[in-house]
Structures are given as structure tokens and as C-alpha cells.
Structure 1
């Protein structure tokens, strides 16, 4: 009997993946993982020179073709130009990791109490976290429909898009030199990503385009020890996550290993959401 090579299901050779927020804490690791499994990677970020340099590094290390592209995902024209560059370079797009998100240019406004939160700040975050998701999914989904080969779209939400933050953990907690919290706009925007994903999974199902949500828990990335300890005490596994621990789920969702999976939420949170 000829063996069925299950490991081939995870092979991404010949496929092109677009990753928005490609220079972020998760984005960089995910770009590396996709390239390691054979995908050509389009690194999309606001910072063009850094995106180009990182794409060149990926290509050298993994022997694939990579492209760095500047894009403001909240801009219709910028998204259109990004997709055109990706298609003109690689011919098609097979995978989208819709990952870009914002924590604002004004951290004081971003972390303001709900009672004092401004509509301008709310709209600034929504413009990236959900409007950007809509624009990128719309443009690349349209391209996938035209290609007629299906595809996989993975959209990054957050654990705080499906459960409320425990505000008790934020007393004495700092990040980037600021007293932190999880503002309502962040939770609302990430919950919206879950809803958008479910809608699109049904809408594009007849075209063989699968759409799923990636839901990371807290990732250790420079928070102070007070926050790390308090957060870890809320997690059954007793610690925060590491960026590389998200990559396996992305590879699964991007590949043929998940060919019968769409509209689902992939929660990677050390068990936080079970309590």
C-alpha cells in the first residue's frame, strides 16, 4: 500500500502569502514560519525600508521569494496598491494573514479611562483594527475569487475579543513606560474581527476560500514583572505566551492540512479562556 504522506499537507511551496503587520511581534515570527514551510512571503508594514530589508533576509535564509511592501491598511488606495504589487510580482495570492493592528500614536489617549475616552481616539483604533481588516480582506478576497483556486484567509483577533479583561491585573502594570489597561476600543475591535471572519467564511465558501480567526492570549513582549506575574496567575499553564507559539496554528490554517476548516476561532491562550 502506498503511504499517504500527511506531512505534505503542510507544504506551502509555490504559494504566496501576504502578512499585514509583518514587522510586529507576531508578524515577524509568522513570516518566518511561512517562509520556512516554502511560501513566498509579502511582508506588509507601514515602514517600507524595514519591510524590504526583512523580506530580503527571509529570502536569503529560506530560499524563497519575498517582497517588502509599505501599506497603510486603513487607506483604500494604499491597500489597492499593495495588492497590485503582490500580484504583479508573484502572479497570485493564496494566503492572507490579516494581522495589522494599532495601539495608537498617543498612548495616553489610548489608555485613558472609558469615561474620558474620545471619539477621535476610538475612530483612530477602529480605522486600523477593523476598517483595515475589511479593506485588506475585501481586496485580497476579490483577487482570490478572480483566481478561481480558493485560498486561506487568517484574521488576527485577541483573547479580549471573546472574553473581558480582568481589570484587577493592571494595578502597577506597565508597558512601554506607561501604566496600562485594555481599553474598550481594543476589545470591541477584536470582537468585530471574529464577526467579520464568520461572515466571510460563509460568503466565500462556494469559492473554496476558507476564513478563520486566530485568537492569541497575552504574549510576553516587554511588560513589567508585576503584569507578567498577575497575568500568569490567571492562566492555567501559569505563564504568558511566546510569539513562536502562534506560528503552528498559522501554518495549519494556511495549508491543505486544514482544507475542511473554515469560520473557526483558534484560541491560543494557555487556557485563560476556560476560567
Structure 2
């Protein structure tokens, strides 16, 4: 049997949060290519519409605008997906936020606002938990499923602040703020907890922790970051998505409760 058949997802219903983001839109395309129907969830309706248009009219997708910081919106979206397709087999819990105020998001620790802290946590961890909870209820009714949650290298490792000297993101001086590390560390711990609890229902729960992906950083950041990586470069979105698809597919059928570091070897040093 061709080993690539393990990655086929025909007949599966996949939910992708953060579907209009850097990783999300690549993930949606590859899920469609592998035969799944994709429910695309994102707070940005206009960006969702753009992703839909790029996929073409015949793509097996549907768009569901949703603010993941609001529990009722999550409940409504999951109910709408089930009404449309009758089941949920795969959840990519991928959404995260930097808020609408990048300057505040990248504030120094000594000045960090609790309003910004709570806003980020409400999406990165609270919303992630609520989406997992609601999708798992549906999965359990149909024999199980796979949940893949996007964590980060900085949920498991402390950032090396030296890489941020002279580094910009969309023209803004950047760092790794404490709320990002705290929320992504929470994703990793929550993944292990849910995997242990839901294994009896046939639901696998894993996380991926991507390394740096080019997404608007300047050349200084890319040079500084790449110097910290054994492979000597940043990741491509495709390399992150390949790992996520593996964890969603039958090829990883005996893997649960794991955090896969897709980091070019950073965590080996």
C-alpha cells in the first residue's frame, strides 16, 4: 500500500481556527487537497472571504466568522458546522492573537497591561479550550477524532532576547512578551491533560510547537534568529503544516498527548 494513503482525509470534516492566518490558510489548502471538508473559522470575515476566493468556487469549504474570545459565538459556530455536515472529525486549534495594538502587545514586562494580558489569554487559551471542549463532544458521538493545537517553541523554551536587538515586525520593535509564553505553555499542558481524559472516547490530542516562520520580520531578525537554529534558517509555513497534517491523520494513530517541536533543531541546543 502506498504510504501516502495514510494522509488521505476523504470524507473527514475538519475545523480550522485562525483559518485566514499565515499558517491557517496554508493548512486549509492542504486539507482540501487531502480530501477533507474544511470549516474555516476566523474573526476576520473579509480575510476569510479572500481565502475562499483563492480556493475557488468548487472547493469543499465553508467560512464561519467567529470571535473566539466569546463563548456563545463558539457554541453557535460548532452548532452550525454540525448542522451543515453532521459531524466533526478533526480540529486544528490554531487561532492566536497579538491584539489590535502591536505596540501594547510588545510592551516591556515592567509596563505590561493586564488588559492586554487578558485579551490575549481569552483567545490563545480560553478560546482554544472552549473550541476543543465543544468539538470533542461531537467527536465522541461519532467514535473519536483528532485535535491538533498550535503551541509554540516559547511555550516550552525561554526566548533568547538577543535575537530581538534591531529586530522589527511590520515596522514595530518586537520581543516575545510574557503573555505569549504563558498562553502557549498553557496550550502544551492543556493538550496533555485533554489527551489523557479523552483517550477513552477515541480522541487524540496533540500539539505542534512551530519555530519562527517568516511573516513580516525584517532582515535583522531573520539573521539573528537563523543563527540560533542548527539548520540555519527559519521555517516555511509548508514545513509546519506537514507536521500538523501528520498528527491529524491515521499515520499518527498511536500518538496522543505529545508536543511536536517543529523548530529546525532549536530545542536540541
Alignment partners' CA distance in 2, 1:51 and 1:224: 26
- Choose which of 21, 33, 39 in structure 1 pairs with 2:36: 39
Look up the SS of the partner of 1:204 in the other structure: helix
- Choose which of 226, 247, 256 in structure 2 pairs with 1:253: 247
**Aligned residue in 1 for 2:141:** 146
Task: Give the CA deviation at 1:202.
Answer: 0.5
**Aligned residue in 1 for 2:9:** 12
1:134 aligns with 2:142: no
Report matched runs for 1:1-275 at 5 Å. 4-55=1-52, 57-58=54-55, 60=57, 64-147=59-142, 149-275=143-269
Q: Is the Cα contact below 8 Å between 1:41 and 1:55 reproduced in 2?
A: no
User: Which is worse superposed, 179-188 or 50-59?
Assistant: 50-59
Task: Give the CA deviation at 1:5.
Answer: 4.0
Task: Give the CA deviation at 1:108.
Answer: 1.5
For residues 17-76 of structure 1, the C-alpha deviation after alignment (integer angstroms, 9 at most, x for no partner) is 00000000000111111111000011111122432442354364xx55210110111111
Give the TM-score normalised by the residue count of structure 1: 0.94
Alignment partners' CA distance in 2, 1:122 and 1:46: 19
Alignment partners' CA distance in 2, 1:59 and 1:91: 24
Task: Give the CA deviation at 1:142.
Answer: 1.2
Alignment partners' CA distance in 2, 1:53 and 1:220: 21
Q: Is the Cα contact below 8 Å between 1:53 and 1:68 reproduced in 2?
A: no
Q: Is the Cα contact below 8 Å between 1:38 and 1:64 reproduced in 2?
A: no
Alignment partners' CA distance in 1, 2:82 and 2:50: 20
Look up the SS of the partner of 2:206 in the other structure: strand
Matched pairs, number: 269
Alignment partners' CA distance in 2, 1:123 and 1:71: 18
